[in-house]
Structure 1
C-alpha cells in the first residue's frame, strides 16, 4: 500500500516532502495504470497529530475562475488552513464544458492549478472520474497527477486510522449516457463491455467494504443517489449501488452532479447523503419537494463542505461562497476500546 504522506512530525516539511514524493509516485502510477487499469489502487493517508482527519469537498468547479470559482477557492484556502486539512475530495465535473482534450490541455492549469493556489490547498486532491469530453478529446487525460492530483478508475481506496474512503466511477451506471447521450460525447475506453465492467466494479466494492474494519466507511461518487436537486435521484445507482452500500452499512455517500449543497438522511438506513456540487456555477431555485425530516440542508448557491473525523465523532460543516456556515451536523460512535474498558469496570464492580 502506497503512503500519500511521509512522517507527520512537521506539517510544512511534510507538504514539501509530499510534493517530491507525489512526482515520483505518480510517474510510477502512470505506468501502472497503463497496464493494470482494472486493479484497485490503495493508498495510506496519515491523520493530524491529534488523531483527527480533516478534509474539504468541492465539486462541479472547473470553469477557469468564472461563476465565483475563484471566490470559492479563496474560502476553501481559509478554512483549509484553520482546519489543517489533510486532503481535498473533488466530486467530479472537473473541467467544463467538455473535459480535457489531452494531457497538455491548458484548461488543467486554467481551471485547477492556477485557481487553488492557497498553501493549505497544496495537499492531495482525490478526484472521482468523469467521462464526458469533446469530440476528439481525451477523458482519460484526467487520470494523471500534477503533484497533488490523484484520479483513478474504476475504484480506488484511501486508508486512514479512523476512516476508509472508496472512490467509485459512477458514470457507466447511467443508462441514458449509452441510450440517449444527446449532444454529449463519452469516452468509454476501458469500460466496454459495460456489463463486465460494472459487474467487476460492484463485486470489488462489495468485497472491499466487507473486508473493511474502518470505524467510518465513506463512499465517494460523482452522481447523486438521493437528491432534491435538478438531477434528482439517479435511479440506476439506487438499483445497483445503493443495496451494496446499505448491506455494508456505510456511513456517508458524498457526491456532486447537482450544483448545490445538500444533506439528506436516508430513512431506511444509517447512510447520510452529502452533495457538494457548488464549486462554481449553481442552479438557483431548482429544487424538488422532499420530506423536511430527511432534507437537512438544501442550498442553491456556491460553496463547499468541510469535515473533521476522529474515532468517535464526525463533524460536517457546509460553507457558502463568502465563508458563512450554512449547516452544522455531527455524528458520534462509541469507541470500542472505551466500551470494553467500561464493561470491564462494571464487571469488576459486580465482584
Structure 2
C-alpha cells in the first residue's frame, strides 16, 4: 500500500469516502503537435532543464534521457541525442552556455547560490514514472492547487491549463484529493473563488478532481482498517489572513466567523479521530506545523491543533506551503512532520532551525511517496529528475518489532 504527495497510492485496499459533498469528472488526452511545435517544445524544455539545474550544470546524457521521456509523454517524435548536441552548439555560439567537461555544460546566466527553478513539467513527468512503478491508487495535492490566486469560477480556463492538461500520465489518471474544509486547499486557493473548487461542475469536467468541504479517506485490507487520512483546512487558522490580508482578498464564505468555525472544527476532528479504528492515522494540511524554512512553524496550528493530534495518537502530519522537501521528528511524541511543497517553485534559500529533530531538508523541487501496510510506513522523497533523495521507514508502534531508519 502506498501513495504519492503531490502523489499518493494505497494498493489493493478498498476505500470509503466520508464527506459532506461529493462530485465527479473526466481525464483529458494529450495531443501531439507539428514538427516545428516539437522542436520549439524541445528547446524550451531543454532551457528549463538547464536553467533549473544546481549550479546551472547539466549532464547531456541525463538531459537526453529526460527529454526523450518528455516527448514520449507528449506523443511527439522521440528525441535523439544528436539534437541535444545541436542545441548546445547553438547556445554556446551565442554565449549562453559553456562546456565544463566532455558531456557537461553550464548555463552562464545562473547564480550558483540560487539555482532557479525547473519547469513544472519535469516534476510531473517524474511523478508519472514513479506513479507507474508504484501502481498508485490516488493522488493528494498539499494545497495551492491553482497558483497564485485560485479559480475565478467553475469555467476558469486555469482548471484545464493547470490540472487537466498537466497531469496526463496514465498512472496519474487516479482520484485526486483536494479539499477545502477538513482539507488541503491552500491560502492561494482562498484568494480566488473557493466555492468553485467545491462545485460538482468540476468533477463532471474531470472526475479525478475531488474537492469537498470536509472528508476523511480511509482504506482497509481484508477486514482490518488500515489507515484514516484526515484532511485539514488550515488556512482559516492563520490569523493574519483575516486581520492583515494586504492587497489580497480571501473568500471566507462558509467559514466566517473564524472563532466559531475553528472551535466546531476542532471538536468534530477530535470526535472523528477518537472513533477511528484505523491502524494508522495521518493528517494532511496545507500549512506547515513544524518547518525550518521560509514560513517556519505555524503558531496557530501548534497552539490549537497539535494537542488534538497528539491526544489521538496521529502518526504523521503532511503539508505543503513551504516550497521544499523536509522531514522533522517531534522530540516529545512519536509524531512525524513531512513537508512536500516543492512541486513548482522552490530554491528559496531560507533555513531557520527549530527545537524538533530535523532528519531531512532539501531546498529544491520534488515530490514524495508513501507506502503502507499493517506494520510499516515507507516514505521516499524524489527530486525533479526522479532521483531518490531520502528514504525513511518506520514500524507501527504496536508492531512486534520497532523500526525507525533512514
- TM-score, with length taken from structure 1: 0.75
Instruction: Please point out which of 137, 151, 157 is paired with 2:211.
Output: 151
Distance 1:309-1:27 versus aligned 2 partners, 3 A rule: closer
Instruction: Please point out which of 99, 113, 127 is paired with 2:150.
Output: 99
CA shift for structure 1 position 226? 0.3
Instruction: Please point out which of 343, 353, 364 is paired with 1:301.
Output: 364
Within a 5 Å distance, the mapping from 1:68-147 to structure 2 comes to 68-127=119-178, 128-130=184-186, 132=188, 137-144=192-199, 145=203, 146-147=206-207
**Contact preservation (8 Å) 2:24, 2:209:** no
2:304 matched to which residue of 1?
A: 240
Which SS does the other structure have where 2:385 is aligned? coil
Which runs of 5 or more residues in structure 2 are unaligned?
A: 1-10, 15-21, 26-116, 179-183, 221-225, 402-406
Counterparts of 1:94 and 1:150, CA distance in 2 = 12
Distance 1:92-1:134 versus aligned 2 partners, 3 A rule: closer
CA shift for structure 1 position 142? 1.4
The C-alpha deviation readout for 1:17-51, integer Å capped at 9, x for no partner, is xxxxxxxx6259xxxxxxxxxxxxxxxxxxxxxxx
**Contact preservation (8 Å) 1:68, 1:302:** no
Counterparts of 1:27 and 1:93, CA distance in 2 = 20
Distance 1:334-1:139 versus aligned 2 partners, 3 A rule: closer
CA shift for structure 1 position 289? 2.5
Counterparts of 2:211 and 2:167, CA distance in 1 = 17
- TM-score, with length taken from structure 2: 0.65
2:7 matched to which residue of 1?
A: none
| 1:330 is the counterpart of 2:393 | yes
The C-alpha deviation readout for 1:179-200, integer Å capped at 9, x for no partner, is 1111221000001121111111
Counterparts of 1:334 and 1:202, CA distance in 2 = 25
CA shift for structure 1 position 332? 0.6
Distance 1:8-1:134 versus aligned 2 partners, 3 A rule: closer
Counterparts of 2:136 and 2:345, CA distance in 1 = 24
In the alignment of these two chains, the number of paired residues is 279
**Contact preservation (8 Å) 1:246, 1:271:** yes
Which runs of 5 or more residues in structure 1 are unaligned?
A: 1-6, 15-24, 29-65, 340-351
Which SS does the other structure have where 2:23 is aligned? helix
